[in-house]
Structure 1
Amino acid sequence: MTGFCADVDECIMMADREKLVKYEHFVNNVLREDLRILLEDREKLYENIAALSQLKQIIICISEDPHEEGLRTQVDLGSNFYIQAHVPDVSRIYVNVGLGFHIEFTLKEALTFIDKKLGILNEKLSESSKKSAKIKGQIRLCYEAIGELQALDKTKLTLICKMKVNKRDVPLKAVNINITKVWIISVFANFILWLLPIFFGKYTDVLFPYIAHNDITQELVGLIGPTENKFRMCPVVSPYLQNTLRLLDNNVDSLVDEEILMNNDIQAGGVWEPSDCNSRYHVALIIPYRNRSQHLQQFLTYMHPFLVRQQLKYRIVVVEQAEGVAFNRAKLFNIGFVETLKLSKADCFIFHDVDLLPQNDYNIYACTHHPRHMYSAVDTLRYHLPYRRLFGGAVAMQQVHFKKVNGFSNKFYGWGAEDDDMYNRIEQVGLSVIRFDPRVASYVMLSHSSVWRTEGRLEKLQDNKDDSEDGLSSLSYHVLDKKERSLYTWFLVSC
């Protein structure tokens, strides 16, 4: 690049773009295409695993209750037409073993086959995840290398263009830069920077324990106590679950209430339950709220169909805090818990921020044997968690566990530390926090302006460790208004 430089445009035209074009072509036409094919194959694996898990659960139910008189079921004839059928002998079952072949098994043999098949599929799923992570890493490194090259080009061109004295063109000699050497150094440096968080315990998928995908159904806790519903129990995993990754980013279009109601048979107060089976899970979603109308509409648009597909019996409760004092997220959760129990006997409570949305249909919104932090990965944190004791955003707790820890603290006005205080409470009563596989428990966060953490929150967190009376037992508030709106139950409170 030796010669005269008339202006910046001429310098840019002189720059060597060939390597940049090659890198961009490699990323867009090779790596991204490989990733697309890999993700499609992984979707099929998830579907097969879900189908086998559901079949396994059905066989277990049949084994526990042999049905000596036989089994009555419905057969899909196609086009949403079903007929009743009677199976006189349920001791044997035909299982699809692949390539269009079906083999007759005893129930015990079928369970053995399914377990082996699930093991193979989970190994393939694990290998697929490793490959996708490798390709994503290659894409990221390529983009970083492209950025470095572009920065070098601009710096070099700027230096050449500035060497014009008194508007007279001066012959310049370009400095030779070994692009390959620069690229190698850049890649190595970025790789070291990528490894550092692992050494310091920042990456969820390396250091955070979680429930494996195929063990999730064993952790779910169903209805507690008798039920008056005359229907059979719904499956542990709903057959209506669709794609494993339905929400790819936070660009969620909100629908008006009428459109949401048109597609889902939701009752007043944001209540829904299956009409053809008895849901295993009775859930209340508690949403703390103030001045977030757009987020609330996006949340309702997305979450109602999401929960319906999971065959949950649920109610969405929005607790709005009146103006006048700083927002108290934790206290609103306590109020929502107390007021919801006056309306229905929910076994499971999910305390959920209005700006978080689950990406995966198989992230079942039900409670587990221990309190559950709902997300193991979130897009705003590069799908990692910043620290192990995080218990914010969305959490699920059985009614009995929430009462055992005396609910959330009422003292945290402003933003920050109330979720860490809840983590301490859970530990103090001998419970532990669990999370699901990040491939299932992944979330996106709706865009919003940053909120400053409240000063003194850490000191308050430390002082609150031994205050066992703070919580449900010391809760005081006034309900200013309440309504069963079309998509949710609404409380306006002062606290």
Structure 2
Amino acid sequence: MPTLTSKWRYLIMLLGVQLIVMALLSRETYQKRVTYFFRIFRKLDVLSGVSGSGTAHGSNHTGADVYANLSQLALLSRSEDMRYCPNTSPLLSGPIHVSFPSGLTLAQVERKNPLVVRGGRYRPPDCEARHRTAIIIPHRNREKHLKFLLYYLHPFLQRQQLSYGIYVIHQAGNYTFNRAKLMNIGFREAMREMDWDCLFFHDVDLIPEDDRNTYTCDKNPKHAAIAMDKFGYKLPYKAYFGGVSALSPLHYLKMNGFPNNYWGWGGEDDDIGIRVSLAGMSISRPSLRIGRYKMIKHKLDEGNEVNPKRFSLLAKTQQTWKSDGMHSVEYELLSREYLPLYTNITVNIGTERGLRPLTPKPKAKERAENRPGR
């Protein structure tokens, strides 16, 4: 029969085992709770578009692959009795992972977008799109940037179930760049081809980082690129209207389009913002966590130096906006090519001294066999 001392010994051992078991259970519960809360915080970070620490310019390393789940669309077929796409696309995933891999080619982008037809046109294979959006990209010597934009923009727009077309308005020659004039030309040439209900004027070096930033027009002109990594994902100032903006044809006509007299870098975005106000409209914007864009780093290239006249031109916008715009734009159409991923429109826009044709003057060409369509 055990003695009193041995009973206490057994009791102490039993209590010790119980304490060890409780500690282990408590530790496991603690770890589960910690893991649970970390998952919540990670999910909140993704939803708010907050990047991980230590990333340059807040670059997005937590988002989804922009091509995820799109491969199944190629297996779908269109029917004559097709219903409209839902108001909110079920393909949206939110934040998108953006990086710039070396060696990317347009051929690779083409292979990843089998439903895009010649001219950079697309429509959903399983439903009738509710919106028709044209993307206007002013371009001059930015081929490297263009292929990255096309890599991300095509699946980005497909996720939103839009009927869309991409137009690259290429300025010929080595004259000073005129971004706003190229956008005027893009509007005119795109509307000649199709009755688009929305036009997005898109810088070639800006990549959208959240597919909930829908490329459709609002009741008022929309500034989509509200939060660029260049500006710390904040709006640099209240009247800013640069980077990526959206106008319906009615908006565009009401404000007489864009100015034609800004040669070089700077000023035209602010002029356009002033025109919106002068035409009796206001600017709409997505939220900061959705209207996020990553800029492809680059320096000002030759022919796009800072415009020294930008401030004096801005001071005269109230007097010039009705006379200088879409009604007064002059250009020479050099070619229209329906390429696999976009429609390339090459134009001669002249210089500040006026429209001067290039020498020798190329013949305008339009390849009927390459027209977009299905």
Fold equivalence (TM over 0.5) = yes
For 2:332, which of 474, 478, 482 is the aligned residue?
Answer: 478
For 2:311, which of 437, 441, 458 is the aligned residue?
Answer: 458
Q: Which amino acid aligns with 2:312?
A: E
Judge conservation of contact 1:266–1:487 (CA < 8 Å) in 2. yes
* Counterpart for residue 216 of structure 2: 366
- Following superposition, the deviation at residue 287 of structure 1 comes to 0.2
Percent of counterpart pairs with the same letter?
37
Q: Which amino acid aligns with 2:211?
A: D
2:146 equivalent to 1:299: no
**Structure 2: tracts of 5 or more residues without a match:** 1-34, 56-79, 350-374
C-alpha distance in 1 between matches for 2:323 and 2:90: 44
* Counterpart for residue 96 of structure 1: none
For 2:44, which of 42, 45, 68 is the aligned residue?
Answer: 42
C-alpha distance in 2 between matches for 1:36 and 1:359: 23
**Structure 1: tracts of 5 or more residues without a match:** 1-32, 47-124, 141-228
* Counterpart for residue 251 of structure 1: 100
* Counterpart for residue 428 of structure 1: 278
Aligned residues: 287
Judge conservation of contact 1:281–1:312 (CA < 8 Å) in 2. yes
Q: Which amino acid aligns with 2:91?
A: Y
2:342 equivalent to 1:488: yes
For 1:284, which of 121, 128, 134 is the aligned residue?
Answer: 134
Structure 1 residues 341, 354: closer, same or farther in 2, change over 3 A?
same
Structure 1 residues 323, 343: closer, same or farther in 2, change over 3 A?
same
- Following superposition, the deviation at residue 255 of structure 1 comes to 3.7
C-alpha distance in 2 between matches for 1:253 and 1:432: 41
Judge conservation of contact 1:247–1:358 (CA < 8 Å) in 2. no
Q: Which amino acid aligns with 2:44?
A: R
Structure 1 residues 304, 39: closer, same or farther in 2, change over 3 A?
farther
After TM superposition, the runs of 4+ consecutive aligned structure 1 residues lying more than 4 A away are 33-36
Q: Which amino acid aligns with 2:213?
A: N
Q: Output aligned runs, 1:349-388, within 5 Å.
A: 349-388=199-238
2:247 equivalent to 1:397: yes
Q: Which amino acid aligns with 2:340?
A: S
For 1:239, which of 81, 90, 112 is the aligned residue?
Answer: 90
Deviations 1:231-251 (A, max 9, x none): 211011111112x22125x53
Judge conservation of contact 2:129–2:163 (CA < 8 Å) in 1. yes
Higher relative contact order (CA 8 A, sep 6+): 2
- Following superposition, the deviation at residue 430 of structure 1 comes to 0.9
Deviations 1:437-463 (A, max 9, x none): 111111100011146421121001112
Give the secondary-structure state (helix, strand or coil) at the position aligned to 2:327.
helix
Q: Output aligned runs, 1:296-335, within 5 Å.
A: 296-335=146-185
Give the secondary-structure state (helix, strand or coil) at the position aligned to 2:272.
helix
TM-score (norm 2): 0.72
C-alpha distance in 1 between matches for 2:37 and 2:260: 47
Judge conservation of contact 2:84–2:127 (CA < 8 Å) in 1. yes
Give the secondary-structure state (helix, strand or coil) at the position aligned to 1:238.
coil
C-alpha distance in 1 between matches for 2:346 and 2:100: 29
Judge conservation of contact 2:278–2:318 (CA < 8 Å) in 1. no
Q: Output aligned runs, 1:8-407, within 5 Å.
A: 37-42=39-44, 46=47, 230-242=81-93, 244-248=94-98, 250-252=99-101, 255-264=104-113, 265-407=115-257
